[in-house]
Structure 1
Amino acid sequence: MRARPGMKSLALSLFLTLTTMATAHAVPGAAGAPAAPKPVPGVQTAPTAPGAATAQVTAAANTPGPAVERITAVPPAFSLTHQNTQAGTDALVASRLAGKVTLPTLLGTDPAGDDPWTKRRSMRDCVDRERLALPPVPTVTAWCWDSAFGDDTTREWLPQGMSTTGAADGGDGRIQNRAAVAVAWRYQPLTTNSGCQKYNDVRVSFIDHDTGQYQHVLLVEPTSAAGTDFKAIPAHAGGIVWYGNHLFVTDTAKGIRVFDINKLSKVHTQGRNVTTIGVDAGKSSACGLPYVLPQVRHYSQTGGCASATATGALCHSWLSLDKTGGKPFKLVSGEYHTVGYGGRIARYALNDFGAASQPGLLALTDNKTQIHDAYAIQGYSHVQSGLTWNDTQGGPLNFAFHSSCGTVPNIFARTWEGDTRATRTNKCTAPDPADPTRRISTGNWAAGVVQGLDRWPVRGTGTPTGTNQQVNELWGLTEGICDKPVREDEKTIDSCANLTPEESRSRRTVFAVPFGSAEVQDRH
């Protein structure tokens, strides 16, 4: 590749920005006692004056710590209503689809036919400035998407939530003897009429950890309990959690949907020129994709959500799984705020897979989900994903967040309940004190619109004589591409500035870094 004048100096500037400008305070060894739960408007039974919640959350974000506070979730706050769609899915799989498929088959073989568009694709090494969309710490895994059919730069499909088999099972970090990563993509049409796919349709890419090969699968739901037909699910899919054989997927204003890996199925008609979905004359199709995953549950809410005002129903923007701190395990659902700071987190109780009722699903009381605890994010904006965990049972609850801000260096932050440090990296850019025509970076992480986070504790070899390895990895992804004009005052810090024709426009990565590394844990 021939370098364009100024390109090397820009890349060097960005590298130095990522590695030195925003490394946070070192985390103290002891966090102190957790703060007592603090009531917040929007989750109380008492009435609140209009606008009071917004003012309270915004004001708190501009004062030193805490970055996260516990709040009291009084039922029915954050409660979701259980809807069972299992019967329709069972009927679909039994008589309307083209046969069930195991995870090893999905990841290990190509579907029949000679259309290369339907075949497995491969994650690849990141090249040139794509690497700026990786964290500025040593990586264990650093993947970029296949270029053959434009997964790396498509403007129509946007990667969102992610999860792995790492914590999904109880032992070796494998499901059906496969170590895998699941990435949800939402569809964003470029025109009002884009054919078969519709706004916020969701596909999931299942990636074989050992080979890097992946296959796209469309998420669908039966149209009735009789299971005679199916349709795509319109969901933003900003969060996804793999728990046993279940995939939990966010549907922002409408709650959380659940899919069963054991119901993964082929369709009859496939290929890039197929423009139909559903069952017609006994044959199934899914907008050309060869596989579908039908819904088995929907934990729903009505009336939308209200993250921008911090009142009312929770906006389910992201998800993660917390298996620390004793049982019950927790499904962690959090909000993304498009303006200001804040956002709320609700942790739902999960049943074990050996439970007598609703095994491997959310715990219910009177057909409503059970809230384990809830929190308000006071010190970060644009939170795209998060994790919670306890280092030791009974210790303070830890939080990690991905905050996004385009193709300049983004933010990764770790804090804990009771942490009173002022939040330093709560914005990604700031005016340059030495030059009012420029902005400087205050980010500390990957430059590529960060999205999902997950933790992979243990990985086995998948063989009878193999041993499990304690890998303790933090997984994440970025969704960015260079498809917008770069601000004039950010040209020295934006990874998309002054691209040459030879350089990739992709800032779309999947990565893993050592979770316990001080370079990761000390960012705030």
Structure 2
Amino acid sequence: MKQRGRHRRRRRGQALRATLAGTALALTAAATLISTSQATGGNSPGGLTELRAGAAAPQLRLREHLLPRSALDTLSGTMGGNVGVEGVLDDTDHAMRDTAGCSDSERSALPVEPAATRAYCWDRADARTSAWRPRSVTTSGDADVTGQWGTRRVILAGWTHRGGQAAPADRGKAFARVAFVDATDPDALRYRWVLLVAPRAGGKDFTAVRAGLGGMVWYQDKLIVTAAHGAGLLVFDMHRVLRAGVDSAAVGRTAGGYSAAGYRYVMPAVGSYEMEGGACTRAGAVPCFGSLSLDRTTAPASLVATEATVGRADRTRVWRYPFSTALYRTGLRADAEGRVDAVEAYTTKGTGVSGVVSHRPAGAREARWYVGRPSGSGGGHGSLWRQNGRGAQAATCTADQSHACWGLGPGALSYWPQTGELWTLTGTAARRVLYAVPLSSVDDSVD
């Protein structure tokens, strides 16, 4: 399970510096920043309250389950071998539109303050479909300390199927797909869809995975995503991406080979993490997973998670699990019995959290937690709060004196340390944008 050495090659410094350069985008929203607030009331989530380790551990403990290597090898062998990330990126078939190509409606979904320095809109069919919703993002900045996978910069965006709004033939499928975006050239992003599946019949067949994709983290050669309804985590191996040779509506083995509902590529799950305390309940003792992100400023690197809550909840838990440092495996750090314990946990008064990132600047005594929240009224811009144990801060907008300065319908967050950018996406149909904001700009807007 080691990461291959070829994925640690660095690009030339000149190319990397070019990708760091960004020009602030012109926004169409009317509100502008007039001040920042050390928030103590209103819709402020307040400071983080630490949970005692002894009390939090049983509720947050995971149990690891790995699929047999033989089943995974059988599926790879019968489908012609693994094509990996490179095989997908060599076969992209969708182009993303840059800011100039986005519509006024799409640009209006961008943050008011701080401004995005990079933004892209999806293929027009993907931008408008009501059957699918973009929810999460992770990058090769998570995957490797070089910020690249091999020679490429890559963005992964997780979309979930909204079966109730799809055509009758598609209802109830609840598929999950990931856009593999080649971002090597920041002026010409292209992508290809990959369907998430689960092996069955000893690796002789597969079925579609039901995953919520509210959160997604790519660390070394593993992709960890939230399962359906936040009930645990699913694990995928980035080397094990397979090609389906039959183009049909079926999913799995057919008379002519393997089909994936019209998708050319599939990625089979290799394992899962389930809450040891039993089924999760929203605002209950055992939390359901909401979103995920990676924090490389801890030792070892850690998976940061937030709880999915309902409207009646008055708090949200945020916590972290350590990644393994063993040479023989990648994934979360599990003991001999497959148990994974959280190493840090807090509660925040904010509910409906859409994304969270933890990052400790060099020389700082504690981490800063960046928490994204949707509009309280629905349909409006969200807010982005920077929290610690002493309080919370967010930019204040001039139009209504609120903190609704973040993107419209905000999704999960991901920090790309090599570029200093905070990446996220919006999920509203016809107003879907993938964008980046420098984390330094976020800090400047609240300091």
Which TM bucket (shorter chain)? 0.7 to 0.9
* 8 Å Cα contact 2:28/2:104 also seen in 1: no
* Aligned position for 1:69: 49
1:24 aligns with 2:36: yes
Q: Which residue of 1 aligns with 2:445?
A: 522
Structure 1's unaligned 5+ residue stretches are: 1-11, 28-59, 111-118, 430-438, 459-470, 482-505
Contact 1:250 / 1:256 at 8 angstroms: preserved in 2? yes
**CA pair 107-85 structure 1, distance change in 2 beyond 3 A:** same
Q: Return the offset for 1:161.
A: 1.1
Partner of 1:215: 192
Instruction: Specify the alignment match of 2:4 in structure 1.
Output: none
Q: Distance in 2 between matches of 1:120 and 1:191?
A: 24
Q: Displacement of 1:200 after TM fit?
A: 3.0
C-alpha displacement at 1:320, in angstroms? 0.3
- Asked whether 1:474 is paired with 2:422, we answer yes
User: Counterpart of 1:383?
Assistant: 353
Q: Shift in Å at residue 192 of structure 1?
A: 8.1
Q: Tell whether 2:61 aligns with 1:79.
A: yes
* Greater alpha carbon shift after TM alignment, 388-397 vs 200-209: 388-397
Displacement after TM superposition at 1:304 (Å) = 2.5
Of residues 233, 237, 247, the one that matches 1:260 is: 237
Aligned equivalents of 1:64, 1:135: Cα separation in 2 = 18
Paired AA for residue 371 in structure 1: A
Amino acid aligned to 2:285: G
Aligned amino acid, residue 522 of structure 1? S
Match of residue 108 from structure 2: 132
* Matches of 1:331 and 1:13, distance apart in 2: 33
Alpha-carbon distance between aligned partners in 2 of 1:356 and 1:13, rounded to the nearest angstrom: 47
Cα–Cα, structure 1 residues 68 and 307, in superposed 2: closer, same or farther, change >3 Å?
farther
Contact 2:158 2:216 in 1 (8 A): yes
Match of 2:338 among 355, 358, 367: 367
Tell me the amino acid that sits aligned with residue 228 of structure 1: K
Change (3 A) 1:312 1:26: closer
In structure 2, relative to structure 1, the CA distance for the partners of 1:447 and 1:253 (3 Å cut) is: closer
AA aligned opposite 1:398: R
CA distance in 2, matches of 1:67, 1:457: 25
Whichever residue aligns with residue 350 of structure 1, its letter is F
User: In the superposition, relative to structure 1, how do residues 192 and 390 fare at CA in structure 2: closer, same or farther (>3 Å)?
Assistant: closer
Q: Deviations over 1:107-127 (max 9, x none)?
A: 2335xxxxxxxx334344322
1:420 deviation in Å? 3.2
Q: Equivalent residue for 2:9?
A: none
Q: Deviations over 1:257-299 (max 9, x none)?
A: 11111001100112xxx21000123610111000000111101
CA–CA distance in structure 2, aligned partners of residues 443 and 269 of structure 1: 50
Task: Provide closer, same or farther for how the CA distance between residues 64 and 400 of structure 1 changes in structure 2, counting only shifts above 3 A.
Answer: closer
- Cα distance in 1 for partners of 2:27, 2:199 equals 52
Would you say the 8 A contact 2:131–2:163 is kept in 1?
A: yes
Q: Deviations over 1:59-105 (max 9, x none)?
A: x987987421111243322111111115222221111x244223233
| 1:100 partnered with 2:75 | no
Structure 2 Cα separation of the partners of residues 194 and 338 of structure 1: 29
The whole-number CA distance in structure 1 between the counterparts of 2:85 and 2:280 is: 35
For residues 284 and 268 of structure 1, the distance between their equivalents in structure 2, rounded to whole angstroms, comes to 6
Match of 2:210 among 209, 229, 234: 234
2:130 counterpart residue number = 155
Q: Distance in 2 between matches of 1:13 and 1:269?
A: 44
User: What is the root-mean-square deviation in Å for CA atoms of aligned residues?
Assistant: 2.9
1:453 paired with 2:419, answer no
Q: Is the 8 A contact 1:175 1:244 kept in 2?
A: no
Q: Give the corresponding residue for 1:177.
A: 151
**Equivalent position to 1:513, from 434, 437, 440:** 437
Q: Deviation at 1:305? A: 1.5
One-letter amino acid of the structure 2 residue matched with residue 454 of structure 1:
S
Distance 1:65 1:403, change over 3 A: closer
Q: Write the distance in 1 (CA, Å) between the matches of 2:364 and 2:107.
A: 39
1:313 pairs, out of 276, 286, 303, with 286
1:332-353 superposed Cα distances (whole Å, 9 cap, x missing partner):
111132314421112001013x
Corresponding residue of 1:292: 266
Structure 1 residues 260 and 321, CA gap change in structure 2 (3 angstroms): same
Aligned: 1:186 with 2:160: yes
Shift, 1:229, TM fit? 0.8
Q: Provide the secondary structure at the position in 1 that maps to 2:412.
A: strand
**What does residue range 394-405 of structure 1 map to in structure 2 within 5 Å?**
395-405=365-375
For residues 521 and 269 of structure 1, do their structure 2 counterparts lie closer, same or farther at Cα, with a shift above 3 Å needed?
farther
Bigger Cα Rg:
1
CA distance in 2, matches of 1:314, 1:363: 20
Paired-residue identity, %:
27
Q: Which residue of 2 aligns with 1:57?
A: none
Question: Structure 1: how far apart are the matches of 2:382 and 2:272?
Answer: 33
For the structure 1 residues 397 and 268, does the alpha-carbon distance in structure 2 shift closer, same or farther, using more than 3 Å as the test? same
Does the CA-based 8 Å contact 1:255-1:300 persist in structure 2?
yes
Shift of 1:390: 1.2
Are the counterparts in 2 of residues 414 and 521 from structure 1 also a CA contact under 8 Å? no
Letter of the structure 1 residue corresponding to residue 304 of structure 2? V
1:413 shift after superposition: 1.3
| Rounded Cα–Cα distance in structure 2 between residues aligned with 1:394 and 1:515 | 15
- In structure 2, relative to structure 1, the CA distance for the partners of 1:177 and 1:14 (3 Å cut) is closer
- Structure 2 spans left out of the alignment, 5+ residues: 1-25
How much does 1:447 deviate? Answer: 4.5
**C-alpha distance in 2 between matches for 1:412 and 1:267:** 41
> Which secondary structure state, in structure 1, belongs to the residue aligned with residue 30 of structure 2?
helix
